[in-house]
């Protein structure tokens, strides 16, 4: 009954129509030719003034163009602006970037909605900012983006942010959700209710008061939109204090549509006839062509009017609304209230049942093109035999070479190849692969197919997704994945402790299986930290890495300031000649990759190959006269050839050579 009263309450304001946006009457203008020529360069500039100047120029252009013509270049611009909002250290740039996105969304209108999935998560991430002018600007931009899309489409983009550890992000996301629930002209789909209520219920118990209060507001709005019944189970499990908060929010909530009135987004089309309220007996749902979508509740009532048979009762209820509104159409509005009591479940079920299966039917079903047996036969004909043999080889280096050959082959036939056959072949040979280098090559081949092969469809996605999802837990991916969140930490103690943990891990496990280049880049960022404890921990960790990797890592530190380099060199000198400690622990995934040598010692891929890739000596000799001069009768020419060769080998990138020395054997005569 309370739900019905809520519906009647909401139905009491059907005449509050939003006026059409005057922008819709303007002619779209192509602003791409007017974009600053140095835009992308300045947006990524290290100088905040250059970024701010180009952003101000863009804002002026966007504000001067009420209606903007959609273009691919604007999609790229919007992504760059969202990245600026998320990561730019200067809040002035963040505010202007938010205003530009707001202007683009309002100017491009509905076509801008396709970018929702890309830009909204980036903007939500910056809601952690405590300055009100920043959060207000981002909030306005989020609202403008929401106006170009539908609430059911938006919900999946908000769920991850609702689980964020930062309380400001949670509160800001909840406020955005509340505004969206309040102004949405399409209701939450039945299947999405639990998806939304689960995180909201958790947030009701959050340690941050702002998040608790906003979660209650969102649940109150949701209850007003979908009715009390779908939320009964949730409410029964709440503490009395929380329940009272939600009930209070429900009483105050106002929404523009209800689940029984509109159904899924498609139902909003049926609600585009409200201007014809004078003839409610006509079947308005049969002519969904107008563009007004803000009065879904009013459209629900015309079909109900013929079903309310006792006119005497209805005329008794009609006078109070008439006296309040002074408007004859409120009679049917009052008439709809009893009809809703009797028919709301059926009315809600009829639109939702046909609409729910239709979406999955078109999006989720797929058909394999080949059976596994047929695909295996086709793979034998399609893929070169040398590749298939190499992928089945017991030696990981042979498999790696086969993957490289396959990548080259795919590049040449990607437009015409049958993607499902190739993906099935990769799955059979490669899903059980233990060597991370080989796996990385296989994923590169999948990426090429997904991006460029026309026949890469849903069947290929299904064949790949399960394995790729499992690989998200691979330690080879987790190690570098830790650097980004650690690098964003502001608390010096957290950073110093994290560096201490990395240092201990390097000492205990060694550097086997570690990608040294990302680790050194992370340590360099820590060395630039203003906190002395963080710099000390980073220096200590770098010394531990140096014990295992050698003094050559200094080549990657040259961009640090002179004082830091002196400090680091001093620490390096203290351990010069000290052998690397024997690792006391071994990572299971690294041990599985490493073949055991005759002495029983596991020997895996050399970690330094990532830091200093080995080069072919023959490649260094190309374009030089070293070989020719080495055969000269003049000793000075031979001496110059040796000095040139020595200079080449002394260069940082050429310090590690591949085992084959090739043409260098000709120099044997000097020895």
Is the C-alpha dihedral spanning 78, 84, 86, 90 positive or negative? negative
Residues 568/523, Cβ–Cβ less than 8 Å: no
pLDDT band at 19, cuts 50/70/90?
low
Range of lowest pLDDT (429-433, 628-632, 649-653): 649-653
Residues 349/264, Cβ–Cβ less than 8 Å: no
DSSP 8-class letter at 44: T
Reading phi first (left if > 0) and then psi (alpha if -120 to 50, else beta), residue 205 is in alpha
What pTM, to 2 d.p., does this model score?
Answer: 0.41
- Per-residue tokens: 257: 């549509």
- Per-residue tokens: 649: 């080998």
Residues 86/125, Cβ–Cβ less than 8 Å: yes
Q: Exposed, middle or buried by CB within 10 Å (0-12, 13-18, 19+), for 424?
A: buried
Taking residues 471-494, report their average pLDDT.
66
- Per-residue tokens: 236: 């029964």
Q: Is the pLDDT of residue 653 over 90?
A: no
Is the C-alpha dihedral spanning 566, 571, 572, 577 positive or negative? positive
For residues 356 and 430, the model is more confident at 430
- Per-residue tokens: 593: 């990759």
Distance between CA 390 and CA 393 in Å, rounded? 5
Q: What is the pLDDT of residue 142?
A: 95
Taking residues 511-521, report their average pLDDT.
79
Give residue-wise pLDDT tens across range 522-546: 888 888 888 889 999 999 999 998 8
DSSP 8-class letter at 19: P
- Per-residue tokens: 431: 């899903």
Range of lowest pLDDT (20-29, 243-252, 280-289): 280-289
Q: What is the pLDDT of residue 461?
A: 86
What percentage of the chain exceeds 90 in pLDDT? 26
Residues 267/186, Cβ–Cβ less than 8 Å: yes
pLDDT band at 220, cuts 50/70/90?
very high
Distance between CA 639 and CA 632 in Å, rounded? 10
Q: Is the pLDDT of residue 453 over 70?
A: yes
Q: Is the pLDDT of residue 176 over 70?
A: yes
Q: Is the pLDDT of residue 397 over 80?
A: yes
Q: What is the pLDDT of residue 474?
A: 59
Q: Of 285, 232, 234, whose CA–CA distance to 263 is shortest?
A: 285
Taking residues 86-111, report their average pLDDT.
93
Range of lowest pLDDT (277-286, 431-440, 608-617): 277-286
Taking residues 122-151, report their average pLDDT.
93
Longest CA–CA separation in the chain, Å: 123
Residues 271/299, Cβ–Cβ less than 8 Å: yes
For residues 488 and 113, the model is more confident at 113
pLDDT band at 260, cuts 50/70/90?
low
Taking residues 623-640, report their average pLDDT.
78
Q: Is the pLDDT of residue 81 over 80?
A: yes
Distance between CA 293 and CA 402 in Å, rounded? 57
Distance between CA 214 and CA 170 in Å, rounded? 9
pLDDT band at 125, cuts 50/70/90?
very high
Q: Of 616, 619, 638, 613, whose CA–CA distance to 627 is shortest?
A: 638
Q: What is the pLDDT of residue 12?
A: 42
pLDDT band at 361, cuts 50/70/90?
very low
- Structural domains for the chain: 2-262 (1.25.10.10), 272-363 (no CATH), 372-472 (no CATH), 476-574 (1.25.10.10), 617-670 (no CATH)
For residues 132 and 620, the model is more confident at 132
DSSP 8-class letter at 216: H
Q: Of 404, 296, 406, whose CA–CA distance to 347 is shortest?
A: 296
DSSP 8-class letter at 90: -
Taking residues 566-574, report their average pLDDT.
89
C-alpha distances in Å from residue 131, one per residue of 128, 136, 163, 168, 178: 9, 9, 22, 11, 21
Contacts of 635 (CB under 8 A, 6+ apart): none
For residues 264 and 117, the model is more confident at 117
Q: What is the pLDDT of residue 432?
A: 82
Strand partners, 657: 615
Distance between CA 527 and CA 537 in Å, rounded? 9
């Amino acid at each position: 009954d309370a739900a019905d009263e809520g519906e009647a309450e909401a139905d009491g304001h059907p005449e509050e129509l939003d006026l059409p946006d005057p922008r819709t009457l303007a002619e779209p203008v192509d602003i791409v030719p007017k974009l600053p020529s140095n835009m992308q360069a300045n947006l990524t500039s290290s100088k905040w003034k250059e970024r701010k100047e180009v952003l101000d120029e863009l804002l002026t252009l966007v504000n001067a163009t009420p209606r903007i013509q959609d273009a691919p270049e604007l999609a790229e611009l919007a992504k760059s602006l969202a990245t600026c909002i998320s990561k730019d250290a200067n809040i002035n740039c963040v505010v202007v970037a938010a205003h530009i996105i707001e202007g683009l969304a309002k100017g491009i209108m509905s076509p801008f909605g396709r970018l929702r999935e890309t830009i909204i998560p980036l903007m939500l991430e910056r809601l952690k900012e405590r300055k009100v002018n920043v959060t207000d600007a981002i909030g306005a931009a989020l609202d403008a983006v929401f106006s170009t899309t539908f609430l059911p489409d938006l919900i999946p983009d908000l769920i991850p942010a609702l689980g964020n550890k930062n309380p400001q992000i949670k509160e800001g996301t909840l406020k955005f959700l509340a505004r969206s629930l309040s102004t949405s002209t399409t209701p939450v789909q039945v299947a999405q209710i639990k998806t939304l209520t689960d995180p909201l219920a958790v947030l009701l118990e959050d340690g941050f008061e702002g998040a608790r209060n906003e979660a209650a507001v969102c649940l109150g709005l949701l209850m007003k939109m979908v009715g009390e019944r779908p939320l009964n189970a949730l409410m029964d499990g709440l503490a009395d204090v929380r329940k009272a908060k939600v009930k209070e929010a429900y009483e105050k909530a106002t929404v523009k549509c209800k689940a029984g009135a509109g159904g899924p987004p498609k139902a909003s089309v049926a609600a585009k006839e409200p201007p014809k309220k004078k003839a409610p007996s006509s079947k308005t749902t049969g002519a969904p062509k107008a563009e007004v979508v803000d009065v879904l509740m009013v459209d629900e009532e015309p079909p109900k009017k013929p079903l309310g048979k006792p006119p005497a009762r209805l005329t008794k209820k009609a006078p109070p609304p008439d006296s309040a509104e002074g408007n004859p159409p409120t009679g049917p509005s009052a008439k709809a209230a009893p009809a809703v009591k009797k028919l709301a479940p059926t009315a809600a079920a009829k639109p939702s049942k046909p609409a729910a299966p239709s979406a999955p039917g078109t999006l989720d079903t797929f058909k394999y093109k080949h059976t596994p047996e047929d695909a295996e036969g086709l793979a034998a004909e399609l893929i070169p035999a040398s590749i298939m043999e190499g992928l089945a080889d017991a030696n990981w280096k042979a498999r790696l070479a086969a993957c490289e050959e396959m990548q080259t082959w795919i590049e040449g036939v990607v437009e015409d190849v049958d993607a499902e056959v190739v993906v099935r072949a990769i799955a059979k040979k490669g899903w059980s692969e233990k060597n991370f280098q080989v796996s990385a090559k296989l994923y590169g081949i999948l990426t090429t197919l997904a991006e460029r092969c026309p026949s890469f469809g849903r069947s290929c996605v299904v064949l790949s997704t399960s394995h790729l999802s499992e690989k998200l837990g691979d330690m080879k991916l987790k190690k570098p994945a830790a650097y980004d969140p650690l690098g964003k930490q502001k608390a010096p103690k957290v950073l110093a402790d994290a560096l201490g943990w990395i240092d201990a891990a390097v000492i205990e496990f060694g550097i086997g299986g570690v990608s040294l280049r990302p680790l050194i880049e992370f340590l360099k960022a820590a060395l630039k930290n203003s906190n002395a404890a963080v710099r000390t921990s980073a220096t200590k960790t770098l010394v531990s890495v140096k014990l295992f990797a050698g003094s050559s890592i200094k080549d990657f530190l040259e961009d640090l300031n002179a004082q830091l380099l002196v400090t680091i060199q001093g620490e390096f000198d203290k351990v010069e000649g000290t052998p690397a400690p024997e690792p006391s622990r071994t990572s299971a995934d690294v041990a599985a990759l490493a073949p055991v040598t005759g002495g029983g010692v596991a020997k895996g891929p050399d970690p330094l190959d990532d830091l200093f890739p080995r080069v072919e000596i023959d490649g260094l000799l190309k374009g030089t006269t070293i070989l020719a001069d080495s055969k000269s009768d003049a000793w000075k020419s031979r001496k110059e050839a040796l000095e040139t060769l020595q200079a080449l080998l002394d260069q940082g990138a050429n310090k590690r050579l591949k085992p084959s020395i090739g043409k260098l054997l000709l120099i044997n005569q000097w020895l």
